């Protein structure tokens, strides 16, 4: 059984706002399947007593003090932007979706 | 929609509402959640940004200790358990209000869980259960241009300012609140008010709804008695305490009219409109984004030291509910009276007025009388009415000193609310001071006696109660600018009668 279906790849592409052709869907679904199957081999050696790992370093509570540090200038901030207007990043219109929070 | 809405009483007689609230609070830390950029409100666009909050390649976030401390204190004040270990998560979505294409948030491991907040509504205590309190970063501000101003629909371009992106944001989520019936809108408002007061007491945010440092989403559903809970809608853009109440009420009415017509409620996001007081549909939950949460690899887990948590708990300030009970005793108010002070949003205003030297009775009279009436009429919060506690205290001081009588004081207060200046300035500028010139008053008293010989005779013969008519006459000639008590004493004295 494939590790990822063509429909899942299409769904991910839509979430990522990527326009993918039918041919590309076939190609990526195949490639991603190979990658996921390879990664899945890790699961075969993971014993029940090994918890899933999210961080490679065994650290907790790395905090910074609440002290202001210098910011970029607006010119610096916008220097890598594809487009700017009124000192703001200018991006194409967003389809009818809401902000996250 | 042109359908006529049913009456509220009919709706609550037929349906049971269930509400739920998600509240976002911007913390008042000096710096952002994961970088050292300042957090002050306003500022020129993109002047408070750095590689971390712009999500530039190679930058690494580090959690702000003051924000972690603040959320633990909020959790403790809301009677939550504090997680011994939790992680941040990436919430992935493609919308330019976050430059990284994800927001750092918390998912299945919030830092505070299972709390409650008791609120008082209609003389009863309602326990609102808190499901979770978690930490995330605020988004940038988008400005839509090219179409109808500020609206997404029709816009061709968006302009983004990331000054707000990365400001620590605390999200407080209640469990569903059933069983409040007709009081559902009041419960929603009372909860947000109490939550705001708790957070303000902790000093971790300025919790100003009009500036967006306290924002609220309101979930509402209706069901028939004895049946399962209905499909809920989530109303966003609720920007004042009054709107919280109005949003619940308006959604209840709208949903009832849909259900009455045999329709079904769509699970969706709706937007509240301050001007009309109703809601319009936004994003449908059926096409809701799949956020693909996963643990944030760039931030290590948080494991608050239990000793630190215990220390923070011991150092919590007196919370508003306890504080109010103490004030109620000090002020000598009944439960009902205290509830009306609370409902009017006058607790802190009265407290400050009393601290400035006014008696509790006088402070209550102004804030719950004249000023509350005006706030209701104009639809503004009492705290924003335009009169400050020190001005009210000054006004009462003028009354106590005999310079203003009740009627004149009301006129002066009107001037204060209209922004004409301090009570003393208004009194002087508008010539509203009580006539205390004895010569002028004596003349007015003598004139009243001469003009009403019959009444004067009655008083002389011992019918002291008749003096009221002469006092009235004097008040009329002095255009209300005399102290009625003084006038009465003078009338009796001139007629040789003991008061």
Residue located via tokens 């609370």: B342
**What is the reported pLDDT for A98?**
45
Q: Where are chain B's structural domains?
A: 8-312, 320-429, 438-494
Are residues B131 and B114 in contact, defined by beta-carbon separation less than 8 angstroms? yes
Contact B36 A68 (CB under 8 A): yes
Best of B26, B47, B86, B300 to mutate (most A CBs within 10 Å, chain A): B300
Q: Provide the shortest C-alpha distance from residue B90 to chain A (in Å).
A: 12
**What is the reported pLDDT for A47?**
76
% pLDDT > 70, chain A: 91
**What is the reported pLDDT for B212?**
87
pTM, two decimals, is: 0.82
Contact B95 A99 (CB under 8 A): yes
Q: Is B232 helix (H, G, I), strand (E, B) or coil?
A: coil
Chain B residue with minimum CA distance to A78? B46
Strands B279-284 and B268-272: antiparallel
Chain B residue with minimum CA distance to A68? B36
* Cα angle value B114/A60/B77 (rounded, 5°): 30
* Number of A–B residue contacts, CB under 8 Å: 167
Contacts of A53 in chain B (CB under 8 A): none
- What are the phi and psi torsion angles at B99 (to 5°)? -75, -15
Contacts of B91 in chain A (CB under 8 A): 100
Q: Is A17 helix (H, G, I), strand (E, B) or coil?
A: coil
**What is the reported pLDDT for B151?**
52
**What is the reported pLDDT for B58?**
93
Q: Provide the shortest C-alpha distance from residue B367 to chain A (in Å).
A: 37
Around Cβ B246, how many Cβ atoms within 10 Å?
Answer: 24
Rounded distance, CA B426 to CA B403, Å?
12
Residue B277 CA to chain centroid, in angstroms? 17
Mean pLDDT computed over every residue of chain A: 87
Contact B46 A89 (CB under 8 A): yes
Nearest CA among B179, B190, B175 for reference residue B244: B190
Q: Provide the shortest C-alpha distance from residue A76 to chain B (in Å).
A: 9
Chain A residue with minimum CA distance to B170? A101
Q: Provide the shortest C-alpha distance from residue A12 to chain B (in Å).
A: 9
Contact B47 A97 (CB under 8 A): no
Contact A94 B96 (CB under 8 A): yes
Q: What element of type H or E holds B483?
A: none
Strands A63-64 and B279-284: unpaired
Q: Which residues of chain B have pLDDT under 50?
A: 1, 286
Handedness of CA A91, A92, A98, A100 (dihedral sign): negative
Task: For B298-367, give the DSSP string.
Answer: TSPPB---HHHHHHHHHTPPPPHHHHHHHHHHHHT--HHHHHHHHHTT-HHHHHHHHHTT--HHHHHHHI
Question: Cα dist. B96→B13, B161, B297, B415 in Å?
Answer: 45, 10, 22, 48
Sequence length of chain B is 499
Instruction: Express each pLDDT in B9-61 by its tens digit.
Output: 999 999 999 999 999 999 999 999 999 999 987 789 999 999 999 999 999 99
Q: Is A7 helix (H, G, I), strand (E, B) or coil?
A: helix
Are residues B222 and B15 in contact, defined by beta-carbon separation less than 8 angstroms? yes
Count CA atoms closer than 13 A to B447's CA, side-chain side.
14
Q: Directed axis angle between helix B65-77 and helix B184-202, to 10°? A: 130
Q: Is A99's pLDDT higher than 80? A: no
Are residues A96 and B135 in contact, defined by beta-carbon separation less than 8 angstroms? no
Chain B residue with minimum CA distance to A16? B94
Contacts of B171 in chain A (CB under 8 A): 101
Chain B residue with minimum CA distance to A64? B64
Nearest CA among B188, B145, B30, B456 for reference residue A66: B30
B204 secondary structure, DSSP code:
S
Are residues B169 and B29 in contact, defined by beta-carbon separation less than 8 angstroms? no
Rounded distance, CA B115 to CA B83, Å?
12
Instruction: Express each pLDDT in B202-234 by its tens digit.
Output: 999 999 898 889 999 999 999 999 999 999 999
Cα distance between the two ends of chain A: 37
Handedness of CA A24, A26, A28, A29 (dihedral sign): positive
State both tokens at B209: 């709804």
Nearest CA among B400, B403, B319 for reference residue B366: B400
Q: What element of type H or E holds B92?
A: strand B89-92
**Lowest mean pLDDT segment, chosen from A45-59, A61-75, B49-63:** A45-59
* SS3 sequence of B27-82: CCCCECCCCCCECCCCCCCCCCCCCCCCCCCCCCCCEEHHHHHHHHHHHHHCCCEE
Domain B438-494 has CATH 1.10.287: no
């Amino acid at each position: 059984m494939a590790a990822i279906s063509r429909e899942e790849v299409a769904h991910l592409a839509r979430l990522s706002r990527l326009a993918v052709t039918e041919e590309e869907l076939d190609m990526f679904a195949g490639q991603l399947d190979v990658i996921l199957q390879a990664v899945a081999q890790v699961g075969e050696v993971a014993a029940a007593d090994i918890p899933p790992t999210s961080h490679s370093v065994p650290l907790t509570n790395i905090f910074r003090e609440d002290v202001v540090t210098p910011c970029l200038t607006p010119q610096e901030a916008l220097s890598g932007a594809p487009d700017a207007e009124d000192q703001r990043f200018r991006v194409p219109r967003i389809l009818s979706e809401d902000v996250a929070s | 929609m042109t359908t006529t809405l049913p009456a509220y009483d009919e709706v609550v007689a037929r349906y049971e509402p269930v509400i739920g609230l998600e509240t976002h609070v911007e913390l008042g830390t000096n710096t952002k959640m994961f970088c050292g950029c300042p957090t002050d409100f306003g500022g020129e666009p993109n002047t408070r940004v750095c590689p971390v909050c712009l999500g530039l390649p190679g930058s690494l976030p580090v959690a702000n200790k003051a924000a972690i401390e603040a959320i633990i204190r909020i959790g403790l004040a809301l009677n939550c358990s504090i997680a011994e270990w939790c992680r941040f998560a990436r919430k992935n979505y493609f919308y330019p209000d976050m430059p990284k294409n994800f927001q750092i948030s918390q998912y299945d491991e919030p830092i505070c869980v299972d709390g409650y907040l008791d609120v008082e509504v209609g003389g009863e205590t309602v326990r609102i259960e808190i499901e979770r309190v978690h930490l995330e970063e605020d988004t940038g501000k988008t400005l839509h241009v090219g179409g109808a101003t500020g609206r997404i629909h029709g816009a061709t371009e968006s302009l983004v300012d990331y000054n707000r992106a990365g400001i620590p944001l605390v999200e407080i989520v209640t469990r569903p609140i059933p069983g409040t019936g007709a009081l559902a809108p009041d419960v929603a408002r009372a909860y947000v008010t109490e939550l705001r007061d708790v957070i303000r007491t902790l000093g971790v945010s300025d919790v100003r709804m009009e500036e967006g440092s306290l924002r609220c989403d309101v979930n509402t559903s209706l069901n028939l008695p004895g049946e399962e809970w209905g499909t809920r809608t989530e109303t966003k853009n609720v920007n004042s305490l009054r709107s919280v109440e109005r949003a619940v009420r308006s959604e209840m009415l709208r949903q009832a009219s849909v259900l009455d017509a045999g329709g079904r409620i769509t699970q969706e996001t709706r937007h509240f409109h301050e001007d009309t007081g109703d809601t319009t549909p936004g994003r449908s939950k059926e096409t809701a984004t799949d956020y693909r949460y996963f643990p944030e690899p760039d931030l290590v887990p948080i494991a608050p030291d239990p000793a630190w948590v215990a220390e923070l708990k011991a150092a919590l300030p007196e919370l508003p509910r306890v504080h109010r009970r103490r004030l109620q005793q000090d002020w000598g108010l009944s439960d009902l009276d205290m509830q009306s002070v609370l409902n009017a949003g006058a607790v802190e205003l009265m407290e400050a007025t009393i601290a400035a030297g006014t008696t509790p009775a006088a402070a209550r009279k102004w804030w719950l009388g004249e000023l509350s009436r005006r706030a209701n009429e104009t639809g503004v919060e009492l705290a924003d009415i335009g009169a400050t506690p020190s001005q009210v205290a000054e006004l009462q001081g003028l009354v106590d000193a005999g310079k203003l009588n009740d009627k004149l004081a009301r006129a002066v207060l009107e001037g204060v609310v209209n922004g004409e200046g301090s009570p003393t300035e208004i009194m002087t500028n508008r010539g509203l001071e009580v006539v205390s010139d004895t010569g002028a008053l004596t003349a007015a008293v003598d004139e009243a006696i001469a003009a009403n010989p019959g009444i004067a005779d009655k008083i002389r013969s011992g019918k002291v109660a008749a003096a009221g008519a002469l006092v009235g006459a004097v008040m009329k000639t002095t255009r209300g600018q005399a102290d009625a008590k003084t006038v009465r004493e003078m009338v009796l004295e001139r007629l040789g009668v003991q008061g």
